[in-house]
Structure formats: C-alpha cells, structure tokens
Structure 1
Amino acid sequence: MLTRPSAFAPPAGEAHWLDVVRELAVGFAERAPGHDADSTLPLENLQALNASGLDVAVLPAPHGGGLSFATIGAALVEISAACPATAALWLMHAGAAHGLVSLSEPTAARFYAAELAAGRRFANALSEPSSGNLFLTPQQSATPVEGGWRLDGAKRFVSGCEVADHFLTNVLVGGVPTFFGVAKDDSVSFAGVWDAMGMRATRSQLVSFAGTVLREERRCAVPPPTSANLISVGLPFLSLGIARAAVDAASEHARGRFLPGVGDVLASLQWVRFEMAGLHVALRGAFLMAEQVAWLADRDDPQATPAAVEAKLAANEVAKAAAALGVKIGGASGYLSTSPIQRHFRDAQAGALMAYSVEVCSDVVGTWVVQSPR
C-alpha cells in the first residue's frame, strides 16, 4: 500500500518493536488461511507475541511497560494486515490485562502483571446478550455473598475465552456498574457454538457464569471517564490493517491479471485507477484520524476518547470499502475461497459490528455535529 510520512509517527526509540512484529507477521500471514478455514484459535501467534515481550511492553510503565499508543497502533496494523483474528485476540487480551493492572489495587495489579509476563491469557467478558453495544452499562446484578458477590449470567463475544486464565468483567453492584477480575474455575463454561462469517479464528463465544464469586480483593476502581483505554484506541487500527491487506491483495491481482481483449493488465484500466485513487485518499484520512487518537492518548488528552469514536467509524467504513473494491477488481477469481480477497471482505465486516458499532458511532458523532454551535 502506498504510504506517506506521518506527523503522528511512533517514537524512533520504539521502532524495534515494529521490526519484531513485522518479522512475526510473516508467519501469521502464512497460517491465517488455515485458521480461518478451520475456525481454530491462532494460539501459536499469541504465544509468539507474548514471548517477544510485547504483552508486558503495553502495560503501564510502573509494571515494566510504557509503550506508546502510537507504537501499539502501528503494531496492530502490521498484525491485522497479516491475520486480523490474531490482532483482535491480542488487542482484547492486552486490553483486559492493561485494564486489570491499571484499575486494581497495588497487590492485585502486581499479580496480574506477573501473570501476563508468565504467559497467562486474558479476555474481556463485558458484552451481555441483553445489553447489545452498551457493554459498559451492564444489566446483570451481582448478589452479595461472603467475601464478595455472586454472578449468575452470561457474557457474549468473548474472544479467546477457551484459553483465558483471567477475565475482566462488569456487573451491577448496588445498582452501580463495577469491574472485577475473575479467574477461570469450574463455575465458568463456554457455549461451543461459533460459526461466524469472518474473524472465524477469534472463536468469540458465549461465556456462562454459574455462581461465580467476584472477590472483593479483585474489585477494580472506576475507570476515569476521560482517560482513553487500550481497546478504544486500538480498534480503528484493527480495521486499518484489514483495509491495507485488502488494497495490497487487489493491487497485486490488478497488476498480474492480463486482459486479452485489452492487451494489457487490469491495472491499466482507468476505472481501476480512479477507484483506487478515491480509496487511497479515504484510507489516508482514516489513518491520520487513528494516529491522531493515539497521539492524544499518549498525552492523556481527554479529547482522545471522543476522537476514537470518530476514528473507529472512519476506519470501519474504509475497511469495508477497500474489501468491496477488492472483490470488484478480483472478479470471479477473487470470489473463490482460495483467494485472500474474499477473506479480507469477510473480515472487514467485523470491525463495524464490534462495539461501538458503526450505527452507534454514527448516532453519537452525528449528535455532536448537529448540536455543536460552530
């Protein structure tokens, strides 16, 4: 994909992390079609990222991390372009771990940081079947028991739940949304149904909690309302990686597809160049929006959170557009299950469905626009 220098580029001192990720991404890309076809979790990819030290690097600086949001975003693009399911799993894993370390009291925070360093897996269990996109406003109430609260309920779309050792979840405690860290035990089970159209290797299943005790010492502080979190900052980059892969696949096909009636390759057709130009400009804009979010988050600017909503909307839409153009350029060849074009098309839909969905983002952003005095 054609790129330009960015004013929001990652710090030069962190460039080695992108080299590490790019090297690992070669193997991720080779294994991606197989994991997609079989709907199997790319555990070897996740373990490789942990072994590289990237998991710990994203933690807050007092716990051995401190990697900038700018570098995390750029790394996500590389991972997602190679294997979007791996990128989604890693983002949710790192986001849950970062949240537990950031919001827990010191003893619990050190415990979770050590667990992450040791290769334990983390997952977000926030979305309820009844709450839709409103994953931060749970409807389930926990019942007081000795040592904490009892949770009976389910959370859906929990990526990587089968291999998770710890979950970040939220419930109502006294009518107030409250976060907890929960260790997997016999009270936690999974619904073995996952046959998605895209992002098949995330295996984002339903998790049931039957009498699970939410321990008082694993209760988290309330997240600062203006503080950006790893997942909200990272989600736009997830879609941008898919868009980049879709553009690269379509461009490669256009350059290599000879048209006998034309006497030249598909890339020589004006309509292909025109549509690619429009997509390129839209994609550059979406990249700049996402990079600005990371820049704001690195400065702890409260504008990072609303900007992330706008950036996710832009990235989700441009990923779908890039993937759709790929199918158009690929023609019947791109429609075959053996082509990466069709896989990019299926994966591109996922970002728009992830909370907050494009419809929710559109409503929020549209409200901001029409209510703004200037």
Structure 2
Amino acid sequence: MSDRTYLDWPFFEARHREMAAALEDWCGAHLPVDHGDVDAACRGLVAALGAGGWLRHSGGSLDVRTLCLIRETLARHDALADFAFAMQGLGMGAVSLFGTASQREWLGKTTSGEAISAFALTEPGSGSDVAATSTTAVRVPGGWRLDGVKTWISNGGIADVYVIFARTGEAPGARGLSAFLMPADVAGLRVVERQEVIAPHPLATLALEGVTLPEDALIGEAGAGFKIAMSVLDVFRSTVGAAALGMARRALDETLHRVRSRKIQGLALAEMQMVQGHMADMALKVDAAALLVYRAAWVKDQGAARVTREAAMAKLYATEAAQEVIDMAVQLHGGEGVRHGSVVEGLYREIRALRIYEGASDVQRIVIARSL
C-alpha cells in the first residue's frame, strides 16, 4: 500500500495503529480467497477471521474506529472478506447493543467464528421504507408467532442465527415494530430463493410460515424495533463508507502502478498532464472520504448517542466517491480494466452495491437534509 499516513491522524490511538499493522500482516498471509463457491468461501472466511481473533471486535462492546479500520483493510484485500466480517457485526448488532445476558451468549459463537449471523430487515415491499414492514409477530401462549417474507438478506441460507424485525402493532408505522433473535433451525423458516448479483455474495429471500419463538426471543422492548434497527445502522453505516474507502484505496494503488509502468509512444502515462489530473482527483476523493468516515467513527466513540448525520455523510460520500475512483481506475487501465478477473474489474462490480444497501445514496441525502 502506497500511503498509510492517515493512521497518524488524531482520530486514532496507538491501539488502532497496532491493530491495523497486525491486520495488514494477517491479510497478506490469508487473502484473497477463492470465490468459486461463495457459500464455502464465506464459511471459511468467518472461521479464519474468528481463529485470527478479528471477529472479537464485531460483537459486544463496539469501537467504531476499529470496525472501520478492519473493514477498510479487509475490503482493500478481498471484498468478500469484508462482507464476512461486516455481517458478523451487523447481524448481531441488535444483540450487542440491546440484548439480554442469555441472548448475548450467541455473541460468543459469532465472535469466535463458530456461528454465522444475519440481519433480516428488508422485505419485498419495504426496503428504504422500514415503516412499511409487513412481517407480523403475534403473541401466542409462551411466546410469539412470526409470519412474512424477508428478502435481500445477506448470509440468507447459510446463517446460523438471524435478527428478525416484525410488526407487533403497538402503534402505526415504524413505532409498531419489534426485533427478535431467531435460530436458523426453527420450524417454519424456509429459503425461497438464493439471489445472484453482479458481485456474488450469499443472499436469499426467506419465508417465515408460522415460526414460533419463545418470549425471551424479543430483543429490547416490544415496539422498539425501529429504534433498535436505526441504532444498529448508526454504528455500522459508517463502516460501509470504510469498506468503500478500502476499495478506492486499492483502485488508486493499482492505478498508480499502471500509469507508472504503462507507456505510450515512449512516455509513461504518469508523465501525461491529463493523467496526472485524474490521479489528483482520485487521491482527493480518497482523502476526503477517509476524513468523513473517521470523523463519524470518532464522534460515535466519544460517546455521542446518535451520529445519524455524520454517518449519513460518511456513507454517502465515501461510496459515491469510491464509485468514481474505481471507474477512473478502469478507464486508465484501458482494455485491461474490463478484463474479467483483473483487480479493477472486480472492484467495479463490488462497489456498486454499497451505494444501495444500508440506506441508498438518495436516502442518505434526505437524512442529511432533514438534519439541517
């Protein structure tokens, strides 16, 4: 990696710098992995990240700067490794922040790599509009009965445990949702479809047909599901920006190598003024994204109850900027940039989804505007 000076910024402490250096060594020895069988690759990555001790940062007491540094580093080496790490944290985020002692026993399994977790919020009719959630949870003797459909669920079909959001009806709209902890082996849970996307990840549509959960499956209070979901996204939304930042840094590094070594009429691309201008724009976007990401993470780690505006700015800018940086990397690689299997071609496919999941870019613009 050409530039690590950002680790000297005052957002970080010595422990962050030491962790980042150790993770860099680990990534060099373990990544990238073969993506041929995506399910197997994700299971292997979760096990390896657990064995390496990295998943201990994904649950329990959450340090957002650490989460962002890990996601940035993993994404720079292998986007699927970033996905595997991120979902262990996001999947159990509600339990880390609001879970009971018995619910938090699952964290021992997810942070060791023994179990895979998933966050099941999205539905066919409610993506960005969480208040439109239609999955229901009705009280029955001894617990709850859940019925509905969840879709675009990361780790769907391979997860061992899900956090499910359902309508319990305490109030209209978003105020009538609750969160539940659901093991994957419950009766009535069915994988309807495995979804294929441009950068393969384990994704699925799930049907809940008379799923019965005990009373203690409820996370937090009934009717607090929207607050729980937004609190989890408040922590992890900045880390999406960090993953995008890692991909952008890799694209910049690959392009630096390309323009230094590629010659046209005896002149290296790096010596051409127009190419220098593009490289300057790429470097500027990378640094601006990093400042926004680590500002949001630092503010949250200082004890702010909510960082909705800061996290929205970080997620929006970092993902949009990374798309632009990677697009220019493809352009400056020429034909090599669109060759299937090249680094920048892979980054081009991987970055696109980050502008959609955990709050699409236009949703982040609305969040920022409302904060004004």
Q: TM-score per shorter chain, which class?
A: 0.7 to 0.9
TM-score for both structures, normalised by structure 1:
0.87
Quick check: 1:350 aligned with 2:353? yes
Quote how far apart the aligned CAs of 1:67 are: 5.6
Distance 1:301 1:203, change over 3 A: same
**Aligned partner of 2:93 among 78, 81, 98:** 98
- Paired amino acid for 1:217: D
- Retained in 1: the 8 A contact 2:245–2:322? yes
- Farther-moved stretch of structure 1 (309-318 vs 219-228): 219-228
- Retained in 2: the 8 A contact 1:187–1:209? yes
Segments of structure 2 that go 5 or more residues without pairing to the other structure are: 171-175
Segments of structure 1 that go 5 or more residues without pairing to the other structure are: 61-65
Quote how far apart the aligned CAs of 1:8 are: 4.2
- Retained in 1: the 8 A contact 2:255–2:329? yes
SS in 1 for 2:93: helix
Instruction: Give distance in 1, aligned partners of 2:189 and 2:231.
Output: 32
Q: Identity of counterpart residues, as a percentage?
A: 20
**Aligned partner of 2:274 among 271, 274, 277:** 271
Quick check: 1:89 aligned with 2:79? no
**Aligned partner of 2:74 among 67, 75, 79:** 79
- Paired amino acid for 1:309: A
Quick check: 1:146 aligned with 2:141? yes
- Paired amino acid for 1:57: H
Distance 1:197 1:8, change over 3 A: farther
Distance 1:321 1:173, change over 3 A: same
Instruction: Give distance in 2, aligned partners of 1:247 and 1:291.
Output: 19
**Map 1:184-195 → 2, pairs under 5 A:** 184-185=184-185, 186-195=187-196
- Farther-moved stretch of structure 1 (78-87 vs 21-30): 21-30
Instruction: Give distance in 1, aligned partners of 2:62 and 2:305.
Output: 19
**Aligned partner of 2:102 among 74, 88, 107:** 107
**Structure 2 match to 1:17:** 19
Quote how far apart the aligned CAs of 1:272 are: 1.2
- Farther-moved stretch of structure 1 (9-18 vs 176-185): 9-18
Distance 1:136 1:163, change over 3 A: farther
Instruction: Give distance in 2, aligned partners of 1:196 and 1:117.
Output: 27
Instruction: Give distance in 2, aligned partners of 1:12 and 1:230.
Output: 22
1:43-93 CA distance string (max 9 Å, x none): 222211111222223433xxxxx4622122111100011111221232122
More RCO (CA 8 Å, sep 6+): 1
SS in 2 for 1:150: strand
Quick check: 1:291 aligned with 2:331? no
Quote how far apart the aligned CAs of 1:27 are: 4.8
1:128-156 CA distance string (max 9 Å, x none): 11102234762322222222221122211
- Paired amino acid for 1:183: P
Quick check: 1:213 aligned with 2:212? yes
- Paired amino acid for 1:239: A
- Paired amino acid for 2:94: G
Quick check: 1:309 aligned with 2:289? no
- Retained in 2: the 8 A contact 1:39–1:195? no
Instruction: Give distance in 2, aligned partners of 1:139 and 1:75.
Output: 35
Quote how far apart the aligned CAs of 1:99 are: 2.0
- Farther-moved stretch of structure 1 (315-324 vs 98-107): 98-107
Distance 1:125 1:17, change over 3 A: same
**Paired residue total:** 356
- Retained in 2: the 8 A contact 1:10–1:68? no
**Structure 2 match to 1:197:** 198
TM-score for both structures, normalised by structure 2:
0.88
**Structure 1 match to 2:173:** none
